[in-house]
Structure 1
Amino acid sequence: MNYPEPIFLQKTTSTNTYLAGLCDRMPQPELTCVYTSYQTSGRGQRGNSWESEPGANLLFSFVVYPSFLEAGRQFFLSQITALALTNVLSDYTEDICIKWPNDIYWKDKKLCGTLIENDLTGTSISRSISGTGINLNQTQFLSDAPNPVSLTQITGQTYNPTDILHQVMQRISWYYRLLQDGHTTEIAERYKRMLYRKEGLHTYRDCEGSFLARFRDIEPSGRLVLEDSNGQCRKYLFKEVTFEL
C-alpha cells in the first residue's frame, strides 16, 4: 500500500472540510484519506449539495502536495482522480465513462461526483484536496438531481465501501506517481479515451442556447474543445457549457 491507512469518520459535515482542518492543524502525509458513511453538508460542483443516504455510499477525500505542478496544469489532478474511479468501477460493470470535467457516468446517469480544492503558493499548487462521492448501495434518490444512479441499481449487488476505497486509493496512488514522473501525455490520452460522448454529434448548451457539436480535444488547461454542426470550433472552461441529457 502506497498511502496511509484511511481514517474513518462515523459522521462529518464534509470530508473535504474535515481533511482541510486536519491539514491546517498539522500537515498530513501525502495521500492521507478520510472517509465516512454520512455527510451532513456534502458539497458538489457549482455550490451544489451531494445527496447520500446515511450508510449507503462511499464519501471520501484525500490530500496531495503537488508543488511540482504549475497552477495552469491543475487539471491533471482532476484527470488522475477520474481515471482511478473509472478503472475501479469498470471492474464491476460496463459503460463507465468520464463526463467532462470529472463526473463519472454509467451510460447517461451520474455515478460519482468530485470536488477538488487547490491552494496555490506563487504559481504552483501547494496543496490539493479531492473529495468524491460514489453512489454504491443507495436504491432511491429523493433530491431533484436529474440522473443519479448507484452501482447496486446497475448490478443488483451490494458493496463494501472500505473495499472499494482501497481499490480507488491504490489506483490514485499509481496515477499520482505517473504525474510526478512527468507522464502527462499518457494521463491526458487515457482521459480522452474514457470520455462520455467522445463520438458523434450531441446537444450542448452555452450562454447563447442549445447547439449540436462533436468532441475535438481537451487542452492542458482543461478547456473543452468542441466542433459544432457548422464546423465552428468552440472552446469552454468549466461552467461555461453544459451537456443536455
Structure 2
Amino acid sequence: MIYHLDTTTSTNDDARDPRYRHGDIVWAEHQTAGRGQRGHQWLSPEGENLTFTMVVEPRFLPVTEQFLLCEALSVALTDTFTAYGIETRIKWTNDIYAGDRKLEGVLIEHNYAGATLSRSLLGIGINVNQTEFDPSLPNPVSMAQLTGRRYDRRQVLETFERCMTARYEQLEHGDRNALQEEYRRRMYDLGVRRTFRYPDGSLTHAVIEGVRPTGELILRHDDGALREYLFKEIEFVLRK
C-alpha cells in the first residue's frame, strides 16, 4: 500500500513505524531532514519529484548476501526508467545514471535478526519533474529534462512498485545468478578506464570489471592487478 504524507523528517524515519509492513511505501511531499549516502542531505522542491521509502522484510536473505537486495533495487529502478523510454545505467553501488548525469539517490538501512536480514528500508529520491537544480550539485538530471515532458508522479511510483515487486520475487525465488548478471550488464562504464579517488584524496586509474555478489567493486589497475573495493574504500571522480 502507498501512504502519501505531506511532511515528515525523512521517509526512512517514518517507515520505521511497525505499522508499515512488507511492500508498503511511505511517500512524502516534503522532508525536513532527508538523507542520502555518505551523510549527504537530500533536498527536493515540494511537488516536483518523488521521495519515498519502500519497506521490505527479506528474512530469507543472509546478512552476508545483503548486496543482492541492493542489486534487485538497482535493476528495478532501471526497469522503471526503461518503461518511460529512458536508458539508464547503474553507477556502483546504486546510483542510476542517464549518460553522465544522476537521476536518483538511494539510502538503504537494514535491521538484522541473527544471521539474516529482518527488515530493510529502501529510501529513494527520483528526480521527476524538476527542471532547475542547485548549481552546487555536481550532475543532476530529471526525467522531465531528459524527455521534455512532465510526469504523473504517482504513476511513476506505481511503475516502480511493480518493477521492484518483480525483482524482489526473483531474488526470493533464488534466481540470484540472473539478477547479478543483469546488474553487471547494466553497470555504468563497465569496461571503461576511469579515475577513482581513495579516502585520503589520492587518485588511481582503473578499468571497471564488475562487482562481487558481496558488493565489492572489481577494478583492473594500470599495472594489470585486479583489486576489490567496498563502499567508501574508493569513489568515482566525476567527469566535468
What TM-score bracket applies, with the shorter chain setting the length? over 0.9
Q: Of residues 15, 36, 49 in structure 2, which corresponds to 1:19?
A: 15
Q: Given the alignment, which residue of 60, 64, 72 partners 1:72?
A: 64
Report the counterpart of residue 170 of structure 1 in structure 2. 162
Distance in 2 (CA, whole Å) between partners of 1:73 and 1:189 is 15
Q: Secondary structure at the match of 1:30?
A: coil
Looking at structure 1, the residues matched to 147 and 56 of structure 2 have their Cα atoms a distance apart, in angstroms, of: 33
Q: Give the TM-score taking structure 2 as reference length.
A: 0.95
Secondary structure class of the residue paired with 2:166: helix
After the TM superposition, which of the residue ranges 118-127 and 197-206 deviates more from structure 2? 197-206
Alignment of 1:1-245 (within 5 A): 5-20=1-16, 22-23=17-18, 26=19, 28-142=20-134, 144-207=136-199, 209-245=202-238
Shift of 1:94: 4.0
Q: Give me the whole-angstrom Cα distance separating, in 2, the residues matched to 1:235 and 1:184.
A: 21
Task: Check the 8 A contact 2:191/2:209 in 1, yes or no.
Answer: no
Tell me, yes or no, if the aligned pair for 1:205 and 1:242 is still in contact at 8 Å: yes
The one-letter amino acid of 1:39's match is: Q
Contact 1:59 1:132 in 2 (8 A): yes
SS in 1 for 2:14: helix
What amino acid sits opposite 1:193 in the alignment? R
Amino acid at match of 1:11: T
Percent of aligned pairs with the same amino acid: 39
The 2-side partners of 1:207 and 1:62 are apart by: 31
1:16 aligned partner, one-letter code: N
User: How many pairs does the alignment contain?
Assistant: 237
Q: Distance in 1 between matches of 2:31 and 2:191?
A: 36
Paired with 2:45 and 2:86, the residues of 1 have a C-alpha distance of 25
Whether the 8 Å contact between 2:197 and 2:236 is mirrored in structure 1 is: yes
Quick one: which amino acid aligns to residue 116 of structure 2? S
- Per-residue deviation, 1:13: 1.4
User: Which segment drifts farther, 38-47 or 28-37?
Assistant: 28-37
Stretches of 4+ aligned residues off by more than 4 angstroms: none
Name structure 2 gaps, 5 residues minimum.
none
Q: CA RMSD in A?
A: 1.3
Offset, 1:182: 0.8
State the distance in 1 between where 2:74 and 2:110 align: 16
